[in-house]
Amino acid sequence: MIEQTVACILERGFAAASAKHIAERAGVSWGVIQYHFGDRDGLLAAVIETGLRELIEAMNSAEIPDAPPRARIEALVAAGSRAYTTPLARAGLEILVATRTERHAALDEQLEPFGREVGRLARLAAPGGDTTAGRVLLLALRGMALDRLLFGGPLDSERDHAAIVDVVLGYLEHDR
pLDDT over 90 at 6, yes or no: yes
Residue 63 burial class via C-beta count within 10 angstroms: exposed 0-12, middle 13-18, buried 19 and up: exposed
Taking the C-alpha atoms of residue 46 and residue 52, their distance in angstroms, rounded to an integer, is 10
Q: Of 145, 149, 142, nearest to 121 (Cα)?
A: 142
Q: What is the pLDDT of residue 4?
A: 94
Task: Give the tens place of pLDDT for each residue, 102-142.
Answer: 776 766 676 777 667 766 766 766 666 666 777 787 788 88
Please, are residues 164 and 141 in contact by the beta-carbon 8 Å criterion? yes
Average pLDDT, the chain: 82
CB 165 within 8 A of CB 122: no
- pLDDT at position 82 is 84
The predicted pLDDT at position 106 comes to 64
Q: Rounded CA gap, 68 and 65, in Å?
A: 8
Domain ranges of the chain: 2-174
What architecture is domain 2-174? Orthogonal Bundle (1.10)
Cα 126 versus chain centre, distance = 21
Distance CA(107)–CA(75), nearest Å, equals 30
User: Could you tell me the pLDDT band of residue 2, with boundaries at 50, 70 and 90?
Assistant: very high
Looking at residues 71-89, what average pLDDT do you find? 86
Say whether pLDDT at 77 is over 80. Answer: yes
Q: Report the distance separating Cα 150 and Cα 75, nearest Å.
A: 25
Q: State residue 115's pLDDT score.
A: 67
Q: What is the pLDDT of residue 128?
A: 66
How much is the pLDDT for 34?
Answer: 92
